[in-house]
Amino acid sequence: MREFRTHNLPASLLATVALVLFGSSNLTAQPDRMMDTITTDVKVDQRLDNQVDLSLPFIDEQGDTVLLGDFFGEGKPVILTLVYYGCPMLCGQILEGTTRSIKETGLEIDRDFEIVSISFDHTEGPDLARKKKNTYKLRMKREGTEEGWHFLTSDSASVAALAKQVGFRYFRDEESGQYGHSSTIVVLTPSGTVSRYFFGVDYDPTDLRLGLVEASEEKIGSIADELLLLCFQYNPMTGKYAPAIADLLKVLGVLFLGVLVSFIIRSLRSERRKGTNVRTGTV
């Protein structure tokens, strides 16, 4: 398992979390307590290559008990969003951002990947999960959303275990009854290992597509994706893909060598033809 430093919320999102949790009056009255709690607990400890426990039990939108592993396999990666359905602001932005990005990836839910959204508020039940699913099924407007996007609930133990395995921190403020948490989605491989993290509430469609292609071990995607992955590399510090200079130079070097060899071969053939024409007296 590769571990990286924690990824904090941007200042703007920290302010959003603070306002949601404490309100404007408490923001003035107790700024130190508020900000200390948020900056300490609202983080993501990146645990790349960590295996999540696929035997963890959850409850689906119909009220049936399922295992996390029921949504893995068949070569399809999984986007995991840890949210809570009664969230007044940030969780909705995460789900909206996920929806917007997926629409532009060119990949299809259920065919190419699955999405698993899980509430970390153990007091929420299947009725609320079902309402959320219906909401985002309408907003997605894509075939496969019904079968490929799952909204789950659970007891506190299962979701806490999963959150720890992917390094997702959250806390409940007893005064407001709201949760503080990061704005992060996680991509997992078909076998359930942590592959990529994407931060914020707007996820670049190209980055998300490349993350899904990599997580699937190239079982989805195109030749163009494979070429991009030769030249672009995931940066865990930023959660984005950036040009891999060394690899890019290698690719350019190979292309240049190919052009040079082709030029030499053509030149040699041209010289041979000229020599043959001189010996035979042809023009």
Would you say residue 133 lies in a domain? yes
Would you say residue 12 lies in a domain? yes
Per residue in 16-39, pLDDT (tens digit) is 555 455 454 454 444 455 555 555
Would you say residue 241 lies in a domain? no
Among 41, 40, 45, which Cα is nearest to 6's? 45
Q: What is the pLDDT along the chain (283 residues), one digit of tens a residue?
A: 666 656 665 554 554 555 455 454 454 444 455 555 555 667 789 999 999 999 999 999 999 999 999 999 888 999 999 999 999 889 999 999 999 999 999 999 999 999 999 999 999 999 999 999 999 999 998 889 999 999 999 998 999 999 999 999 998 888 878 888 888 999 999 999 999 999 989 999 999 999 999 999 867 777 787 777 777 878 887 888 887 754 554 555 656 666 767 777 777 776 666 655 555 555 5
Report the CATH number that the domain containing residue 162 is assigned in CATH.
3.40.30.10
- Residue 283: how many other CB atoms lie within 10 Å: 5
Would you say residue 165 lies in a domain? yes
pLDDT score of 180? 86
Enclosing domain of residue 171: 2-215
Would you say residue 252 lies in a domain? no
Would you say residue 265 lies in a domain? no
pLDDT score of 161? 97
- Residue 85: how many other CB atoms lie within 10 Å: 22
pLDDT score of 8? 60
pTM of the model: 0.76
Report residue 67 CA to chain centroid gap. Answer: 21
Answer whether 144's CB lies under 8 Å from 153's CB: no
Total structural domains within the chain: 1
Would you say residue 205 lies in a domain? yes
Written as six digits, the tokens of 143 are 């075939």
pLDDT score of 41? 64
Would you say residue 118 lies in a domain? yes
| Helices and strands per DSSP (H, E), number in the chain | 9, 13
pLDDT score of 44? 87
